Amino acid sequence: MTDAAQRPSPDQPADQPTSRPAPDPIPLGTAPRPALGVDLEARIRATLTEELGGQALGLDRAPITAELDGADITSAVIDLSGVVVSLPQAAQPGHHPGQATPDTKGWHPEIVAREPGTLHHLRVDAHQLVAVDLPVDITAEVTNLRFDWVDGADGRVGIQPVEPDADHPVSGHARVAVDKAGLVMTARGVLAVVLQQQGITLTALDLDLVSQGPRAATLRVDAAIKKGVFLSARVQATASVSIDENMVLAVRGVQLGSSNPLVAALLGTVRGKVEAATSRDIDLAEKLPDGVRLADVRLDVGQELVVSARLA
């Protein structure tokens, strides 16, 4: 490995500054770094288990394969089928906003040595993964991801991703599919927990998402809420979402309303903020590094909600 002092820091290239902070390094156990694929596989599993803690069950049985070629990782395949992911502690029932939560995890070492490498092919599958009681089907592939092997002064090793640029582009695709009825049930459960923390009870929720083409959909929400003994009301919300051929995300036609005059008045105080926030389109391509070009995004709604994306 090269001495860290002899190599420009990833967050400040030698030729030009950048506003993007360097990604945090990902720990992979104690030095030396893995030399065999089977060692790297075990370290990836251990890191996933440590980072997700008690939020994910079944990681110990997740098939992981990796192949090494010197400093490069020829391929890494992670199959998360059957893994069950729960809500983080802060969002679980019984947790109060003022209650202490575990310290944010992360590895922030003093880097004493680094060596460049390339992950030539990464594939992540989950057929299916259960996230907050919702089965999710995931397929994702990315090629030519650059990274640095790093040695920390604490005796640990890891990899630090290097942002793609115009000279080192990445390509790939991803597909995420969920059952629409299951999504509504999960949304109801998560929203109930969030409102409960504010002293509000969600008594009913009807959510409908209707496709308006390959990259557009309309959303309608009808919720019944209750607070204390005297306040109960229905709240309605509608909006349309679209992504154009230039990969610009737009939210239009946001409407909030309630038949309860008091709740309607409260919604009126936030309507302006909602309209201001949704009036600004989001250029998805502009948010990406130079080496990542979003070629296509699709939103298909039927019995399943399917989001797919392709990198050029």
Cβ–Cβ under 8 Å, residues 251 and 244? no
The string of pLDDT tens digits covering residues 99-142 is 444 445 679 999 999 999 999 999 999 999 998 789 999 999 99
- Mean pLDDT to the nearest integer, 292-303: 87
Whether residue 60 has pLDDT greater than 90: no
Least confident of 55-64, 161-170, 239-248: 239-248
DSSP code at position 55: G
Pairing status of strand 294-301 against strand 304-311: antiparallel
pTM > 0.85: no
Least confident of 25-34, 67-76, 93-102: 93-102
Short-list 240, 260, 261, CA closest to 250 = 240
Radius of gyration of the chain from its Cα atoms, rounded to whole angstroms: 23
The string of pLDDT tens digits covering residues 235-260 is 888 999 888 877 888 888 888 888 88
Q: Which residues contact 17 (CB under 8 A, 6 or more apart)?
A: none
Whether residue 207 has pLDDT greater than 80: yes
pLDDT number for residue 13:
47
